[in-house]
């Protein structure tokens, strides 16, 4: 499943293989609960949502926070970083296999994040600093 966002029109001109489906957007939180592994560019939202869902990741970072998130995913043992300039069928298959071997660790991280309200915790810390 490919959630293409703004790239949907361009990607639609090159239809995916028969084992993939292309969408402009998907209900990400629901989808994350149903998949075995998440392949992402490693943006903050998808990375944190995948971790909260207890899913391992293959992160293909293109810049910005994505590179740090990819490193953190590997450091936490919840997935694999894959360089965008090394994408081919073999490297992606190997990354998926390695990420799937991280399922148990990803599930542990997911359970540790259950019920965590990051916004409320951040506000409380900021208010404590202001006192």
Q: From its phi and psi, is residue 114 left (phi > 0), alpha (psi between -120 and 50) or beta?
A: beta
What pLDDT does 25 receive?
A: 84
* Whether the predicted model's global pTM rises above the 0.85 cut: no
Q: Determine the Cα–Cα distance for residues 115 and 101; give it in Å rounded to an integer.
A: 26
Q: Determine the Cα–Cα distance for residues 31 and 104; give it in Å rounded to an integer.
A: 19
The answer as to whether 118 is a domain residue is yes
The answer as to whether 21 is a domain residue is no
User: What CATH number corresponds to the domain at position 83?
Assistant: 3.40.50.2000
The answer as to whether 26 is a domain residue is no
User: Can you give the residue range of the structural domain that contains 125?
Assistant: 35-130
Number of structural domains in the chain: 1
Per-residue pLDDT reduced to its tens digit, 117-127:
778 888 888 99
The answer as to whether 71 is a domain residue is yes
What pLDDT does 66 receive?
A: 95
Per-residue pLDDT reduced to its tens digit, 25-49:
877 788 888 899 999 999 998 999 9
Q: Which two tokens stand for residue 40?
A: 């992402």
Q: Which stretches in the chain have pLDDT values below 70? A: none
The answer as to whether 10 is a domain residue is no
The answer as to whether 115 is a domain residue is yes
79 - beta bridge partners? 57
What pLDDT does 120 receive?
A: 84
What pLDDT does 32 receive?
A: 83
């Amino acid at each position: 499943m490919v959630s293409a966002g703004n790239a949907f029109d361009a990607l639609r001109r090159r239809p995916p293989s028969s084992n993939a489906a292309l969408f402009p957007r998907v209900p990400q939180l629901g989808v994350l609960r149903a998949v075995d592994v998440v392949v992402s560019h490693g943006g903050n939202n998808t990375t944190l949502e995948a971790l909260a869902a207890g899913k391992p990741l293959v992160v293909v970072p293109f810049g910005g926070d994505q590179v740090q998130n990819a490193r953190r995913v590997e450091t936490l043992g919840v997935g694999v970083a894959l360089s965008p300039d090394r994408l081919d069928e073999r490297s992606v298959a190997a990354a998926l296999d390695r990420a799937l071997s991280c399922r148990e660790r990803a599930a542990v991280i997911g359970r540790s994040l259950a019920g965590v309200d990051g916004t409320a915790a951040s506000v409380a810390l900021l208010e404590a600093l202001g006192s």
